[in-house]
Amino acid sequence: MFESLFNSLFDSPNSYIANNSISKIWVTGHSLGGAVVEHFMENNIGDQYSAVTFASPQATLDGDDTRILNIGYENDIVYSISGFSDKNNSTTRFFTAIGSEHDVDETGIPTGDFTPKEHSILGYVYSTERILKSQFYNQIKKDSFVVIDQTDKGDDIKDIISSWFGDPDTFILGEDNRDDELIGGQADDFIEALGGNDFIEGGQGNDNLDGGQGDNDVAVFTQILDNYDYRIINENTLEVIHARGNQQDGTDILKNIENINFSNLKLGSLDDVFSSGVEQDSFSSIFGAKPILIIPGIGGTFAADLENGHMDWLLNRGVAPEDLQIDPLVNTALPNLQC
Ligand SMILES: [Ca+2]
Ligand SMILES: [Ca+2]
Ligand SMILES: [Ca+2]
């Protein structure tokens, strides 16, 4: 086997450990380096050794060695090539969504030229740091469904989630200082957008949505404003409850989000909610249409005035067009009556 070529390398840390009374050693590597790490561990039995590999082809196929943690994306062909990525010591549902805007990495090298971009070592460095700094870090486990967002297209993320059997709870970790479009699945998702003006759609389920930095983050809901209640949790956190209608959007927690798009209305600012002094109510109590005075029977037709950019229009209030009657007030209306 090729690893015999590494024997002298393998021996070096062992003699160093023996000569320096070191009680713990961590081994790590990426791709082929990860495979070598697995063989190193296979040849060095003992609790003083622990290993983390990234994008390893899982060379030893030994899922029972829990001194090792194999980290890789299911959509990294090298990591998933063994077909044994559901081993006990391997991540099983980590994904990355890399958009075309990342075809060139930060050093200017085309990411997909030599290896699939999902296999890039820089991508793994990014993902690891991204998970470590997530507010959800303590909740993310080895078998959690995680999508590392590196795309501007929400559909890239949505496609990954919907392609997985059972549509699981998903952690979606957006990019800092970029305007993300982050779309959750049917289950209870944890979506973290960080800096930039982000567009977040939790979808069905009870979702946690955090817009992070940025003054213009938007949460999207599927039905009209009248169907939702709110509850203020603190000065930047709001619970949005899909209380009426089909209720499919569930109860979501919105943090650091400035705007809400309902199907019939875009709330340009949530300041009015937070400053209302009412801790819990329907959105329509604050933003609903104000009552108007309906006066049946008044109608008017105005001719087009194309010179001034006005099309012709019909004004009628209180009656459907087919019920229109001759306005009894027509003879008494002021000629310049406008509504
Ligand atoms: Ca962002
Ligand atoms: Ca969801
Ligand atoms: Ca939801």
Residue 310 carries which DSSP code? B
Q: Distance between CA 54 and CA 32 in Å, rounded?
A: 9
CA of 131 to the centre of ligand 2 (A): 20
pTM of the full predicted structure?
Answer: 0.79
CA of 251 to the centre of ligand 3 (A): 6
CA of 103 to the centre of ligand 1 (A): 19
Average pLDDT per block of 10 residues along the chain, 339 residues long: 68 82 90 92 91 89 88 92 75 91 69 74 94 96 94 89 84 95 95 97 97 95 96 95 97 97 90 90 80 52 64 55 49 45
pLDDT of residue 9: 74
Nearest to 67 by CA among 55, 78, 53, 81: 53
CA of 235 to the centre of ligand 1 (A): 21
CA of 152 to the centre of ligand 1 (A): 9
Ligand closest to 216 (CA) is 1
CA of 8 to the centre of ligand 1 (A): 46
CA of 212 to the centre of ligand 1 (A): 7
Q: What is the DSSP string of 185-209?
A: -SS--EEE--SS--EEE--SS--EE
